[in-house]
Each structure stands twice: as C-alpha cells, then as structure tokens.
C-alpha cells in the first residue's frame, strides 16, 4: 500500500530548514542542569537554561537512533515491531475521567484502569498497553505509577509503558521492569518499557520530563519524544509554522537522548493540532489534526525514524455521531500516512480528557477495519480465481464453492460490533442500537476475561517493591 503524502519534497525541505534555524538561532530551554551539561559537552551552545544547536550537531545525532526496533513483551507472541511499514495500536492515554452508559462521567479509579487493561488485553486490534490509560485518582500520586504498572503486567502480557513523571518514577518503573524480565542487563539488550517525553511548547522541556528522558535513555529503553503545539495558541496560527516548531522541539529531545546514550531507540512524536479560535480550547477532532499526522509521518520518514501520531481522537463529549466521524477521520489518516505507533486508538473523548467504555469497543471495531484496509489485496492465481469463474460461468453463483469456504473468513473483515442483519431480522431482535451493543460487549469481555498467569515469585517481588515505596 502506498502511503499518503501531504507535503511535496520542496515543502518538506523548507520545514526541515526552518526547524534547524529555530534550533540554531532561537534555541530551546531545558529546565534541568544535568541535561544542559550533556548538551554542552555534546557540542550545543548553552546560555543559562537555553541550548542552541548547530545544523551539523542535529543532523549528526538524528541519524543515530534505529529506523525500527522491537518492543519485547513477556509473552513473545505480543512482541511489537515499531517502524517500517508496521502500525501498532494502543488505546487512550492520560484521561482523568471515565464515562459509560450506566454511571455517566466521573473521576477515574484504579478499577477503571484495571478494566481498560483487561479490555486491551482481550482485543485482537490493540497491540500494546498505553500506560496511563486513565489517571486513577484513588491512588496516592507518589505510588500511582507503580500501581498502574503492576496492574498492567498483572492483567496483560502485552508490551507496556512506564511513567515519565520525573527521575524517581522512571527509575522505579525500570526496576519493576527488571523484576519482571530478570535484570537491568536484560532490559539493555531488549527494549521492554517505553514512555512519552513531551515538550512544553513553545520550545521548552521541564525538569520532570528531562529527568525521565535521561533515565530511560541511560537504560537503553525507547521513548516517544513528542510535541503538541496548538496552532493559534502555543504555536503559530499557520500549520506550516506549527509543523516547523513541532519538528524543532522533537529533534532537540532526540539529540539529548542520543548524547545520553548513542543509539537509544526513539519514536518521533507529533500530535500538534489547532486551537478552536472561538473559545481558545484544544481541538483534536479537526481536519488539521489529521493533516499534521500526515505531515509528521513524512518528516519522520525523512529522518528514517519510527513515528507516533493520530489516533481515534475527537472533541465530542459523548460517543455519538461526532465522536465516530472525527475518530475515523483521524484513525484512517494515521494508517494511510504511515504512522507506526497510534496512541489514543480506542476510547478517548473530549480532547483527551475522558475515556469511554462504549467508545473503546466502537473504536476497537474501527481499528479492525483500518487494519483490513491496510492489508489490501493479495494477488496470485488462487485469489484471481480464473478457474472458479470459468466453472461458474455466466448467470451462476459462488456461494456453494469450496473456494468461497476456503477464503471468506480471511478475505472479509468479520465485525464484532457492526450489525449487518437485514432490517426485519434487526427489528425482530429488538432493534439494538450501537451504544447498547457496545455496552453489553464490554461487560461481557470483563466478565469472561482470564488474565495471563504472572509467575508467583515475580508477583510477590513486585508487590513487595511497591510496599517498600510507601
């Protein structure tokens, strides 16, 4: 499948050049002195908290991360390739609220976190866990990261994310990953945990993120180096200007990661979008969000780096029509433009602020559809089916042919939620509505979910580690 490209070669080169001018002439503030020391030693000019990067320094360091890498799960069947032509999906991230048909909108709890881990674990379309899928407000902040990570590995054996809320949280997540996989040496040779390090747009990184960046990089663990510039608010109102700003911020973070440990895997993260200028709020359900995802994918390919962007994102406050068309627009663009890691691929509402149980199920269905679109056609003598067409001839049918039975389960997407009955069958079954079906489905999944076994000694060691954090 050809990847959609929104920038011409000339436009891409102009964005790159402008980003380099920003880094060289304006610079980026780093609110953490050890980071500034590393940058200065690596060749950046440092003035106070501001670092300035020459073109040569940026272009030298941007070549050092791998073009693709594998994230290793405790179940090897769930290892995930990040990069190339692969697209990996993970559900929403960072929402402080949850909602469902039965209870409405409320603050998220650890039980909600556990439920979304189980839903992700049960999904054939979600490839990895998303870290802070919701923010459990009933757990003390100082141990929240540890409880979330434990819950992730207790109820799923897919790849997982760690905290980037400062050096301590990062170190503790790395230690828990070491308990799970055996040693820090094992982590260094096989990436098993990753986090998101986000710029404080425009052109700043705060201490907490920088501490985490340096901890994960020193341990050889991948990171998403990300920017969320808001055109018209924290970025220029023009999309090209915001893209150049985003690009500069991400490259600055990547340079630091490589200076800490050369070859540290990174994911080029761009989720910039626009402000809703009528009220100044963030808009992630806009066409501009989709446009930026496509442009970010191109920029990352230019640097031969894996890329994060897009998702089933929306500004809708409830999982209705607006949520669906905004989410599918952004999700499909993510895949068609070649995004490698799609965070927020299921469940997110109201501009990153809320996770919805029913929307998780709806979005998961859309992820399955998008994966089918990505697969495209397989063209060979068997699939071209000349002999079967010859056998059936004019006026016949293919319903009873072995060829049909051999292929239909793999050739066609089999929906788990969408209703394809005729009207009379649908009506006879009570005229089920999409939201009601999704509500029942997520409850059925949670009721029947069987968590993969976590070795008893590992479970005990993880719980002991968390207990000692108090």
pLDDT of residue 363: 98
Site of tokens 């446009």: 291
Half-sphere exposure of 460 (CA within 13 A, CB side): 3
pLDDT of residue 189: 82
β strands within 302-366, DSSP E = 307-308, 341-342, 348-349, 354-356
Tens-place pLDDT, residues 426-463: 999 999 899 999 999 999 999 999 999 999 999 999 99
pLDDT of residue 184: 82
Can you read off the two tokens belonging to residue 14? 């102009």
Tens-place pLDDT, residues 26-46: 999 999 999 999 999 999 999
Can you read off the two tokens belonging to residue 170? 């990062």
300: part of which helix (H) or strand (E)? helix 287-302
The three-state secondary structure class of 299 is helix
For residue 187, name the pLDDT band (cuts at 50, 70, 90). confident
Residues of the chain with CATH 3.20.20.480: 68-375
Tens-place pLDDT, residues 145-162: 999 999 999 999 999 999
* Domain range 68-375, its CATH number among 3.10.20.30, 3.40.50.920, 3.20.20.60, 3.20.20.480: 3.20.20.480
Question: Is the pLDDT reported for residue 188 higher than 90?
Answer: no
| Contact criterion met (CB below 8 Å) for 246 and 328 | no
Can you read off the two tokens belonging to residue 441? 């489905």
Mean pLDDT of all residues belonging to the chain: 96
The pTM is what? 0.95
Q: Comparing C-alpha atoms, which of 172, 155, 162, 248 is closest to residue 197?
A: 162
Task: Please name the residues in contact with 400: beta carbons below 8 A apart, sequence gap of 6 or more.
Answer: none
Question: Is the pLDDT reported for residue 470 higher than 80?
Answer: no
Q: How far apart are CA 360 and CA 122, in angstroms?
A: 12
Question: Is the pLDDT reported for residue 397 higher than 80?
Answer: yes
Can you say whether residue 300 is alpha, beta or left, with left for phi > 0 and alpha for psi between -120 and 50 degrees?
A: alpha
Output helix, strand, coil percentages for the chain, rounded to the nearest 5: 50, 15, 40
CA Rg value for the chain = 23
Tens-place pLDDT, residues 85-114: 999 999 999 999 999 999 999 999 999 999
Question: Is the pLDDT reported for residue 1 higher than 70?
Answer: no
pLDDT of residue 77: 97
Over range 293-309, report the average pLDDT. 98
Other beta carbons within 10 angstroms of residue 77's beta carbon come to 7
Pairing of strands 97-99, 354-356: parallel
Percent of the chain with pLDDT over 70: 100
Question: Is the pLDDT reported for residue 362 higher than 80?
Answer: yes
């Amino acid at each position: 499948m050809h990847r959609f490209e929104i920038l011409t070669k000339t436009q891409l080169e102009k964005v790159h050049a402008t980003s380099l001018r920003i880094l060289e002439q304006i610079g980026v503030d780093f609110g953490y002195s050890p980071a500034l020391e590393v940058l200065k030693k690596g060749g950046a000019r440092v003035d106070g908290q501001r670092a300035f990067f020459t073109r040569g320094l940026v272009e030298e360091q941007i070549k050092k991360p791998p073009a693709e890498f594998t994230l290793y799960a405790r179940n090897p069947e769930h290892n995930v390739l990040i990069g190339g032509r692969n697209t990996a999906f993970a559900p929403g991230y960072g929402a402080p609220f949850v909602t469902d048909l039965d209870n409405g909108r409320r603050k998220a709890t650890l039980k909600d976190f556990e439920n979304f881990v189980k839903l992700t674990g049960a999904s054939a379309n979600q490839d990895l866990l998303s870290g802070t899928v919701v923010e459990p407000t009933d757990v003390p902040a100082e141990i929240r990261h540890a409880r979330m990570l434990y819950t992730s590995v207790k109820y799923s054996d897919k790849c997982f994310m760690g905290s980037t809320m400062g050096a301590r949280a990062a170190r503790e997540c790395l230690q828990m990953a070491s308990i799970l996989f055996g040693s820090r040496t094992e982590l260094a040779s096989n990436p098993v945990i990753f986090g998101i390090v986000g710029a404080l747009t425009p052109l700043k990184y705060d201490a907490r993120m920088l501490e985490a960046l340096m901890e994960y990089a020193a341990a050889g663990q991948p990171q998403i180096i990300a920017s969320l510039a808001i055109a018209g608010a924290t970025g220029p109102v023009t999309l090209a200007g915001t893209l150049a700003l985003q690009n500069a911020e991400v490259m600055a973070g990547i340079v630091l990661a490589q200076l800490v440990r050369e070859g540290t895997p990174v994911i080029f993260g761009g989720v910039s979008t626009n402000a809703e200028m009528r009220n100044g709020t963030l808009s992630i359900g806009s066409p501009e969000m989709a446009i930026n995802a496509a442009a970010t994918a191109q920029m990352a390919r230019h640097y031969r780096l894996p890329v994060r962007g897009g998702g089933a994102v929306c500004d809708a406050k409830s999982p209705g029509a607006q949520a669906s068309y905004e989410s599918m627009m952004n999700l499909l663009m993510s895949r068609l433009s070649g995004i490698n890691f799609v965070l927020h691929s299921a469940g997110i509402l109201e501009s990153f602020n809320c996770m919805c149980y029913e929307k998780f199920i709806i979005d998961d269905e859309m992820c399955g559809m998008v994966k089918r679109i990505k697969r495209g056609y397989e063209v060979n003598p068997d699939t071209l089916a000349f002999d079967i067409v010859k056998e059936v001839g004019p006026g016949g049918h293919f319903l009873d042919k072995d060829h049909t039975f051999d292929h239909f389960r793999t050739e066609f997407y089999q929906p788990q939620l969408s209703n394809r009955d005729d009207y009379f069958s649908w009506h006879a079954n009570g005229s089920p509505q999409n939201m009601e079906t999704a509500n029942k489905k997520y409850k059925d999944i949670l009721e029947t979910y069987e968590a993969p076994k976590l070795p008893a000694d590992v479970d005990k060691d993880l719980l002991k580690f968390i207990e000692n954090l108090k």
